[in-house]
Amino acid sequence: MWRSKHKATSGLAALLVVGSTACVDLAIVNPNDPDATRALGTSGDVLSLVAGGYTRWTYTLSYYSSMLMFSVGSFQHSAPWANAGMEYYGRIPRQPTINTPGDANVRNITEAYYQSYRVVAAVHDGLKQVDSGIVDLGDDETAARAYGKYMQGLAMGTVALLYDSGYVYDETMEPSDAELVGYQAVMTAALGYFDEAIAQANSASFTLPATWMGQEVTSTTLARLAHSYKARFRAAVARTKAERQAADWNAIAADANAGVTADWDLVFDCNIPTFCDNGNGGVDYALYPGWQMQNNFVAGMADQSGAYQTWMSTAVSNRLPFIIVTPDTRWPRGANEAAQLAAPGEYYSVNSGSTRIWNRPDRGTWRWSYYEQTYEPFYSDAGIDWAGSIPEVRVVEMRALVAEGDYYAGRLANVAAFVNSTRTTHGLNATDLAGLNTSCVPKLPNGNCGDLWEMFKWEKRLETQFAGPLRNGWYFDARGWGDLMEGTILQLPVPYGEMLLLEQKAYNYGGVGGQFAAPLGTYGY
Task: Report the run of H or E that residue 285 belongs to, with start and end.
Answer: helix 281-287
Using omega within 30 degrees of 0 as the cis cutoff, is the peptide bond preceding 344 cis?
no
Residue 3's pLDDT is 42
CB contact at 8 A, 175 and 195: no
At 189-236, the pLDDT tens digits run 999 999 999 999 999 999 999 999 989 999 999 999 999 999 999 999
Determine the longest span between alpha carbons in the chain, in angstroms: 71
When comparing pLDDT for 343 and 12, which is higher? 343
Predicted confidence band of residue 290 (pLDDT cuts 50, 70, 90): confident
How far is 16 from 120, CA to CA, in rounded Å? 9
pTM over 0.85: yes
Q: What is the DSSP string of 403-450?
A: HHHHHHHT-HHHHHHHHHHHHGGGTPPP--TT---TT--SB-TTSPBP
Q: Tell me the CATH number for domain 6-256+491-501.
A: 1.25.40
Is residue 34 within 8 Å of 450, Cβ to Cβ?
A: no
Confidence band for 267, pLDDT divided at 50, 70 and 90? confident
Q: What is the pLDDT of residues 49-81, one digit of tens each?
A: 999 999 999 999 989 999 999 999 999 999 999
* CA-based nearest residue to 481, from 252, 246, 241, 238: 241
Q: At what angle do helices 219-236 and 473-481 cross, to 10 degrees?
A: 40
What are the residue boundaries of the structural domains of the chain, listed by start?
6-256+491-501
Residues 6+ apart with CB under 8 A from 394: 260, 263, 264, 463, 464, 467
Cα 377–chain centre separation: 18
Give the C-alpha separation, 117 to 373, whole Å: 34
The C-alpha R_g of the chain, in whole angstroms, comes to 23
Per-residue model confidence (pLDDT) at position 214: 87
